[in-house]
Amino acid sequence: MKIFTAKKLCDHHFESNYISTGHRLIITAVPTLYLEDKQTKSDTTLRIRSCYKSMREDLKFKLKKSRKTIKDFRTRLSNVE
2 domain residue, yes or no = no
| Interatomic CA distance for residues 48 and 44, integer angstroms | 6
3 domain residue, yes or no = no
Per-residue pLDDT of 2-43, as tens digits, reads 666 766 667 777 888 888 887 788 888 888 877 665 555 667
pLDDT of residue 21: 81
| Interatomic CA distance for residues 81 and 76, integer angstroms | 9
41 domain residue, yes or no = yes
19 domain residue, yes or no = yes
pLDDT of residue 10: 72
Domain containing 53: what range?
11-80
| Interatomic CA distance for residues 19 and 8, integer angstroms | 15
pLDDT of residue 36: 63
The number of domains in the chain is 1
4 domain residue, yes or no = no
| Interatomic CA distance for residues 40 and 46, integer angstroms | 10
> For the residues 43-60, what does the mean pLDDT come to?
77
**Contact of 60 with 49, CB cutoff 8 Å:** no
36 domain residue, yes or no = yes
58 domain residue, yes or no = yes
pLDDT of residue 14: 80
